[in-house]
Structures are given as C-alpha cells and as structure tokens.
Amino acid sequence: MAEPLKVGLAGLGTVGTSVVRLLEDGRDKLVARSGRPIEVVAITARSRAKKRGADLKKYRWVADPLTLARDPSIDVLVEVIGGAGDPAKAAVEAALAAGKAVVTANKALLARHGQKLAALAERHGVALNFEAAVAGGIPVIKTLREGLNGNAFTRIYGILNGTCNYILSRMEQDRLGFEQCLREAQRLGYAEADPSFDVEGHDTAQKLSILASLAFGTKLDPAAIYVEGISSITLADLDAAEQLGYRVKLLGVAVKTEAGIEQRVHPTMVPKDSAIAQVMGVTNAVTIDAEGIMPITLVGPGAGGMATASAVVSDLADIARGVRGAPFGRPVSHMTATRRAPMQRHEGGYYIRLLARDHPGTAATIARRLAQRGISLDSIVQRHDAAEQRAASGRSGKPVPVIMITYATSEDAVRKALSAVRRDRVISGSPQVIRIEKN
C-alpha cells in the first residue's frame, strides 16, 4: 500500500473536529477510493484545553498554525481557522511556499487573496483546494472546475447563505416579521450575535466572487459586486410575491453580458415553479446556465460541521489520488481582469411597491414618470388593506399601496423614474424595489 497522506489540521472548531471524525470513521473507504490512507498527524488550535467532544489525545499538538504549516512531517495543511488575515493567511502561504498542498474552507481568505494564493500554489506545483468554501456540502466548485470544464458558462446564481434563506422562509411560512425571524435564527445558532455580515449580503458576495472567477475566468474582485441585503423585506412584499406567482430569495448572481460580467447580490423574485424557489430553510442551492446543456441546479446543506467537513475530506481524497489542477480552473496568467458591468445597466423585470397618496392625479403622475423613462408595466395592483395603511401611515385612509411589475427595463430607468416620483411628492416613504430573475 502507498504511504499515507499526512495531514496537519489547523482549527478545531465544529468543522475541524468533524474532519477528524470523518477521516477516522471512513478510513477503509478512503483507502479503497484513494489508494492510500489519509491520516491526521498534527493539530493546532487557539485553546488546547477546550472540550471538543472528540478524543484528540493521539494527535501531536503544535503550538501555532504557522509552525504547523512548516512542519516537515505533513504533506497537506487543512486550514479551517477562518478570517481573511493572519494566522490563516500566513499559514496557507507558508504551507504552499514549503511545497505542501492546502485544503481550506475559508471563503474570506480566498475572496481577498485567492489570486495570490493560486499563483503561489502553481509556482510550487501543489494543490490548493477549497470545495468547502462555497455552499458547504454542495460540490459546486468541482462541477465548475472539472465536471463542466468543456462548457461556456452564461450565468450562475444561487442561494448561498442559509441564514437569509431561513429568515425569508420563516417569514413566508409563519407570517412573522424580519426581526422576529432573525431573533429565532440567532437562538437556533443560524445567525451570529452581529448578523449584519449575513443579512446584508456580504457573506453571499464573498462566495459569489469565487464562483464568478471559476465560471468566467476573471480575477477575484469582491468590490465589483453590487450588494443589497434582506432587512428591508416585509410581509407585504412576500404576500405580493405569492399573489403574483413569485417567491423572494436572496440570490448571488453572476451573468455574462455585452457590458461585462454583471455580479450582484440582492433580494430577488423568482418564479414559484422554478427549482430554486422550492429551496427553503437553511438549505443552499446553485443554478448553472451553460451553453449546450439545460440549466443544472445543485441543492444541499450550505453549512454545518459534517457537511463542510465532507467537502474538506473530498478535497483530501483528490490530493491522495494525485489529482491536481489550477485552483481556479485555469492558470492565473490566463485569468482576466473583471470588466465590471455597471449595475445601472442591469436589465430585467422589476417589482415596485409604492405608498401612493390618495389624491387626484397621483396615478397619472406616477404613470407619466414611468413613461418618460420608457418603462412599460406588465401588471399593476392597488390594494386597500386598512390595517396595512394604518401600519404605514399611522392614520386610516391615507397612502394606498400600489404594486407594479415592469417588463424588462434598466436599473437606471427605474431609479430615475422613482426619484422623479418622490420629488413630485405623490408617494409616502421610500419605494420598495425588488428585481425579478427569470428561469
């Protein structure tokens, strides 16, 4: 039998301890599939005394991640510490420079430094694998990098944050407001004490930047992504979506356009009969559009110890078998700078909800402003829900909720038309705008 693949494990949180368990429990299967054993030989974490629910006494403890990365006894470093900076960054760089393969679940590190790390891996002829960094247990990285490497991609989009999908699902199913669902997500451990990174879309943006780079061969550039979160979504929006045949999801979308690669994260109305609309709770999903095939949707757990660990172990098995490719599917020298498609040039359908003042000429003013920007309406609904009016204005009988669905138009046209409507003082508050993503 071939010599074991010797692993140094940096990070012993939920994912790290799950990696240890999977490697122990699946030892024989991994030997059969990989042709050699995969063994953890050294570990490190911030606290040696912390109880982790796993017997780690048989593993050699190393003082810190950087020392582990340079340890001559390991073949591969598994980094599950997290964070875009040190010690994770320093440890990964040291391991690659020392000619050791790296497996990481660190989306923040890759989104910020992926280009540099990929070049370092190529220079030293070692693998840099990161299946666990995006969508947990869903094998989307390998699908893009290997399974569909003969296809030209046109669009990739998905639910990449389980916290947001849980909140939107609970709001819809249990008729609860955003804040109440957020508190429940925090109680269940789905959301952090400070949930802004998740609910404002930044976690999804980091993951989208990795997927866009793999799909379109562009250099990673999180700054090129338009980001909008879900905190403004109300039950009124979810009710309207239901009546119009849609469901609201927070999507990360990367699409090839004539203007460049459009990358955006925002609440989105998707047709209720689409595959991605059926994905509820903390589950993730990614849809891939490529030339020559029908759209492919991958669905599965996006987080959690065992789901993420399974992706880490899969990457280790590839290394054990001698599989190594360019980290982002092509050499770094062949990756191009992102030609950012300005969000103002995005074209598609829009859901617009206004609180229109109940005065003569209001409807005509709104219609005129839309027409001036060439916006055509697919449908318009005026709702006279007294309770909703009171909640919005504090007095019954004032603003009337008006919901409009546009035909395909530009972001710029919608924003300019609504700015003009606000200046006309025929609406109360700020308009709610949600983009529509077709199948």
- In 3D space, the residue among 150, 417, 169, 192 whose CA is nearest the CA of residue 292 turns out to be 150
- pLDDT surpasses 60 at 236: yes
pLDDT at residue 383, as a whole number: 63
Neighbouring residues of 234: CB distance < 8 A, sequence distance ≥ 6: 177, 178, 432
- pLDDT surpasses 80 at 386: no
Percent of the chain at pLDDT above 70? 96
Question: Stretch 77-92: mean pLDDT, rounded?
Answer: 97
- In 3D space, the residue among 224, 226, 218, 212 whose CA is nearest the CA of residue 141 turns out to be 212
Question: Stretch 236-243: mean pLDDT, rounded?
Answer: 95
- pLDDT surpasses 80 at 385: no
Q: What is the pTM of this model?
A: 0.92
- In the block, tokens 């990285």 appear at 141
pLDDT at residue 397, as a whole number: 54
CATH superfamily to which 140-301 belongs: Dihydrodipicolinate Reductase; domain 2 (3.30.360.10)
DSSP state of 278: G
pLDDT at residue 339, as a whole number: 76
pLDDT tens digits along 252-297: 999 999 888 999 999 999 999 999 999 999 999 999 999 999 999 9
Contact (CB, 8 A) for 44 and 70:
no
pLDDT at residue 387, as a whole number: 47
Would you state the CATH architecture of domain 344-436? 2-Layer Sandwich (3.30)
Would you state the CATH architecture of domain 5-137+307-333? 3-Layer(aba) Sandwich (3.40)
Confidence at 1, pLDDT banded by 50, 70, 90? low
207 catalytic residue (yes or no): yes
Question: Stretch 124-133: mean pLDDT, rounded?
Answer: 97
Spot the catalytic one: 100, 142, 207, 249: 207
Question: Stretch 86-95: mean pLDDT, rounded?
Answer: 98
Sorted by where each begins, the domain ranges of the chain are 5-137+307-333, 140-301, 344-436
